[in-house]
A and B are shown apart, each in its own frame.
Chain A
Amino acid sequence: MRRRLRPIAIGLEARVRERTAEREDATARLAENQARLSAIVDSAMDAVITVGTDQRIVVWNAAAEAMFRCPAAEALGQPLDRFVPAAARVPHRGHVEAFAAGGRTARRMGHPGTVWGQRADGDQFPVEASISHATVGTATLLTAILRDVTERRRAEEAHRLFSERLQVLHEIDRSILSADSGPRTAQAALDRIRVLLGSARAAIAEHDLVRGTGRWLAVSGASGPATAEGQAFPLALMGAVESLRAGRVETIAVASVAQHAAGREAAALGVRAYTVVPLIAEGQLIGSVDVACPDGRALDEGALGIVREVADQLAIALRHSRLREQILSHAADLERDVEQRTRELAAANAELSLANDKLRDMLAELEAARREQIETKDRFLSHVSHELRAPLTAIYQFSTILQDGLAGALSADQAECVDVLVRNAGQLRSMIDDLLEATRADMAILTLRRRPGVAVDALVDDVLQTLRPAAAEKGVALVHELPADLPRVHADPARVRQILVNLVDNAIKFSGAGRAVRVSAGGGAATPEFVRVSVTDEGPGLTSAEQQQVFSRLYQAPHTAHTARNGLGLGLYISKELVQRHGGSIWVDGETGRGSTVSFTLPADRRTRAAVQPDHTSTAAGVLT
């Protein structure tokens, strides 16, 4: 039997050994796995905590030890509640149980700021958590992975504060740029300060150190009539001005300023103390930010830092605002000034315009008066001339009747007397003519009736014919030398004739018996626009001084003045005026003892310049005596 059982036992033993080996191997592998897992869990940055169904801790890694400041030896087996803040324990347990039952929680896990942990020493801190659960047999294991977000939350808070401050400073900047008034800038800054500090009561004031008063620019929270915006207050409310000027912050107990209305109002509103932060721009104290101290305590460093930072910016903004107001006010003054000046200028202009009108009227009157005077004078001259001519005409008529023997034959002596009479009547007549013409030249009312195509040679012929008797009487020869192609002129033929008569008559007067008076003309090579006519005598000639004077009014050649009557001396003057009215010029050449030549020019008539008579090809010369 034993022998029969022995192989079975041996088989069983072998199988037991086999199984044992297998189990040992498995155990070793498990241990190895656990060690590896532990190493992973322990080396994790986040805390890994596992609790059993009874919510006691079964896993507590190295990060958990550090986070909760509790070694694993102490934590393992402890209820999880120990690491949850007392206030959160009941709801926390509910959440955990609900999660264990359904794998879900009403809370959104991992949302920052919603889960709090409590360290072994009681310190509380915010965590971010993710939770998973596993069922092992009947037991449910919950594993939470936790991260301490204290630093992150602090950074976030700091960032938020920083953003807020930036926002304040930005708004102040914006109010500078948008040219806001001082009160509006102050109000914007004040709104932000209240947000940043959570302080219910704050105000911003500007100071007038000269008057010793302040004025509220912006006031937040409840206020009374003494602390209303725009209201003035004594600077004593702000503590020591010297201290503020130096940039120091003053904290004032409301009880110490109870003598002022604003102080009493603050007290009535429950303020016990307030902090005054100076506003300093360009070294000048211009105002203050006043913040009520919460619970009567001075502001902490952080709050004060914020206020100072805002105050610095605000001071610049207010300074800008004040400067801008000054500039605007100055600009407005200037504008008023300019308007005033403009009005004055307009008035002055109106006056000037009026004066101009008056002056114009006066000038017009003067001109009218002058014209009337000229017309009156001309009428008078015409009248005088007319009246003088009536007796002159009678003298001329009857003396020529006698001279011509129409009233009977005369003796030789009688005939001589009558000749003198006739000659003098002629002189008187030409004097009256000259006087009238010269006076008209003086008044610039010599009239011209210019026409084109006036032939100078024909006029010369005519004048020489007319003066021939007078020349013959003196034994003077009249000669003309006119080129056949002499251009025609644009002139008044009657006036040209008048000029020629004056010049030739003058030349005859200065020539002795046996002498000649020569009339020549030319196209004027140098000045083709003009025709030149010259009258040359062989008389005594003129000195250069005389040459300059002959065309002046009332000129009398000195060596002829005593010997003979030569009219009024107006001939050359009238000739000069007539030539000039035509646009020409007149001059005299020659020297003493060699005779003289008077020349004048007249504008050539361009249209008829080429129209010369073809049969006059050579210079025509003739003696007309």
Chain B
Amino acid sequence: MSAAKILIVDDDADHRLGLNLRLRANNYATAFAADALQAVSTARRERPDVVLLDIGLPGGDGFVVMDRFRRNADLGAIPVIVLTGRDPASHRERAIEAGAVAFFQKPADNAELLASIRLALGEPTAAA
């Protein structure tokens, strides 16, 4: 069984690198995008199983990206986990309404984030 592929959408290169290390250590394949346009095109090309999506992005924010996914038959079913520095008080609800399966404020607890990814992939949560 090939590893699940996770698309990391973030304009912060350090963050992309850190997540890449963390996810690969947990046996996930990764793909990257640094802006909204890249997010959609990479998703089309790479067909990820889960998207970790930042909100503050160049060329259109995370909500625009989710909207594009929602309108695209191939991308509409991919679970999106929002991972952002933005305030949950004003963004959590909005993100869930826009179709996100989970919302994390940075820095997210590693264990909680991994549990959320496993939930989105339909994997047993006990797996480490």
Interface of A is mostly: helix
Residues of A within 8 A of B19 (CB): 397
Contact of B56 among A386, A401, A429, A440 (CB under 8 A): A386
CA distance A436 to B85 in the complex (A): 13
Quick one: closest B residue to A403, CB to CB? B110
Residues of B within 8 A of A400 (CB): 22, 110
Residues of B within 8 A of A154 (CB): none
Residues of B within 8 A of A396 (CB): 107
CB distance B107 to A386 under 8 Å? no
Residues of B within 8 A of A447 (CB): 89
CB distance A385 to B22 under 8 Å? no
CB distance A389 to B107 under 8 Å? yes
Report if A397-B105 is in contact (Cβ < 8 Å); known contacts: A382-B87, A389-B85: no
Residues of A within 8 A of B97 (CB): none
CA distance A382 to B19 in the complex (A): 23
Among B10-18, B41-49, B63-71, B118-126, which stretch is in contact with chain A? Answer: B10-18
A548 to chain B, nearest CB (A): 30
Interface of B is mostly: helix
Count of residues in B whose CB is under 8 Å from the partner chain: 19
Residues of B within 8 A of A404 (CB): 25, 110
CB distance A449 to B93 under 8 Å? yes
A333 to chain B, nearest CB (A): 70
Residues of B within 8 A of A398 (CB): 14, 18
CA distance A4 to B12 in the complex (A): 210
Residues of A within 8 A of B22 (CB): 397, 400-401, 406
Residues of A within 8 A of B107 (CB): 389, 392-393, 396-397, 425, 429
Tell me the chain A residues, 245-262 only, with Cβ under 8 Å from chain B: none
Count of residues in A whose CB is under 8 Å from the partner chain: 23
The answer to whether the Cβ of A470 comes within 8 Å of any Cβ in the partner chain is no
The answer to whether the Cβ of A410 comes within 8 Å of any Cβ in the partner chain is no
Tell me the chain B residues, 79-128 only, with Cβ under 8 Å from chain A: 85-87, 89-90, 93, 105-107, 110
Residues of B within 8 A of A397 (CB): 14-15, 18-19, 21-22, 107
The answer to whether the Cβ of A412 comes within 8 Å of any Cβ in the partner chain is no
The answer to whether the Cβ of A407 comes within 8 Å of any Cβ in the partner chain is yes
CB distance B18 to A390 under 8 Å? no
Could you give, for residues 384-426 of chain A, a 1 whenever the CB lies within 8 Å of some chain B CB and a 0 otherwise? 0111011011101110110010110000000000000000010
Residues of A within 8 A of B18 (CB): 393-394, 397-398, 401
Contact of B15 among A386, A390, A449 (CB under 8 A): A390
B91 to chain A, nearest CB (A): 9
A385 to chain B, nearest CB (A): 7
Residues of B within 8 A of A425 (CB): 107
Report if A393-B85 is in contact (Cβ < 8 Å); known contacts: A382-B90, A400-B110: yes
B13 to chain A, nearest CB (A): 10
CA distance A367 to B89 in the complex (A): 24
- Please, could you name 6 A-B residue pairs with CB atoms under 8 Å apart, sorted by A? A390-B12, A392-B107, A394-B15, A397-B107, A398-B18, A447-B89
Which 6 residue pairs are nearest across A and B when measured between Cβ atoms? A397-B18, A396-B107, A389-B85, A393-B107, A386-B85, A393-B106
- Kindly list 6 other residue pairs between chains A and B, CB separation below 8 angstroms, not including A390-B85, A404-B25, A447-B89: A382-B86, A389-B106, A389-B107, A400-B22, A400-B110, A401-B25
